[in-house]
Amino acid sequence: MKLLSAFNRLSKRKKIQVSLFVIVAVILIAFAVWRVVGLFAEEVIITNQATITYDDGSGSQTVTSNSVQTQVVPVSEDVTVNFNLNIQGRSDHSVTGISFKILPVGGTTPVFEVSNASTDATGSGQVLVTGLSSGNYDYRIRVPKFLSSTISNQPLVDLMTLDFGTMLGGDLNDDNIVNSLDFSIMMGDWGGSGPSDINGDGKVNTIDFSLLNSNWFISGD
């Protein structure tokens, strides 16, 4: 009130000067407050926020940062996979040149593949798998001249053992089905010791034909 009384006692010219001074002062103070608040506001703005999810083998992990960071996604260690199989018609199950593939569950494109796996006389073999993350996969094996066999949707675990069962013979042209094309090849080998010797006894004869015939029109899985 005292300020108002003093203001009223001023001349008209002084009143105008004081009023202009007050207006300018208010504008400057408002500007200063806006700048200060603006500066503080900029400090709490989160830019480049990144969220990264990965699986380190013990479950899914999520990391969120206020700025972009480089995250090293764990890759599994090398995994040794043991497998067993039997060769149809044989007592010695040793074989070479085995194709071993690992595929995404239900997929058709292998994520890991070797073509030179082998087994001992008992049909046991081993493959060193590298570069795959943990998880479930399909596993497909194929012995030359025999139909493929697949084990589906199994977790990839070190020192696991896959039992592929009996490899069915007679796919002499390696197109993964036994049919007349294979029969024609066997007729060409008949009486000799060619690749149509399914049971491995050194002769192509009725025993081999019997094995081929038992798998007629069967496809590998």
- Residues in touch with Ca ion (CB under 5 A): 171, 173, 175, 177, 182, 197, 199, 201, 203, 208
- Residue 205: CB minimum distance to Ca ion, A: 6
Question: Between the CA atoms of 135, 71, 80 and 153, what dihedral angle is there, to the nearest 10 degrees?
Answer: 10
- For Ca ion, the closer CB: 77 or 201: 201
- For Ca ion, the closer CB: 84 or 150: 150
Who contacts 92 (Cβ-Cβ below 8 Å, separation ≥6)? 121, 200
- Residue 158: CB minimum distance to Ca ion, A: 36
Who contacts 110 (Cβ-Cβ below 8 Å, separation ≥6)? 101, 102, 103, 140
| Contact assessment for residue 31 and residue 23, using Cβ atoms and an 8 Å cutoff | no
- Residue 99: CB minimum distance to Ca ion, A: 15
- For Ca ion, the closer CB: 82 or 210: 210
Copy the structure tokens of residue 29: 């103070």
- For Ca ion, the closer CB: 81 or 98: 98
- Residue 87: CB minimum distance to Ca ion, A: 12
Query: Which string of b and e fits 151-163 if b means at least 16 CB within 10 Å?
Result: beeeebeeeeebe
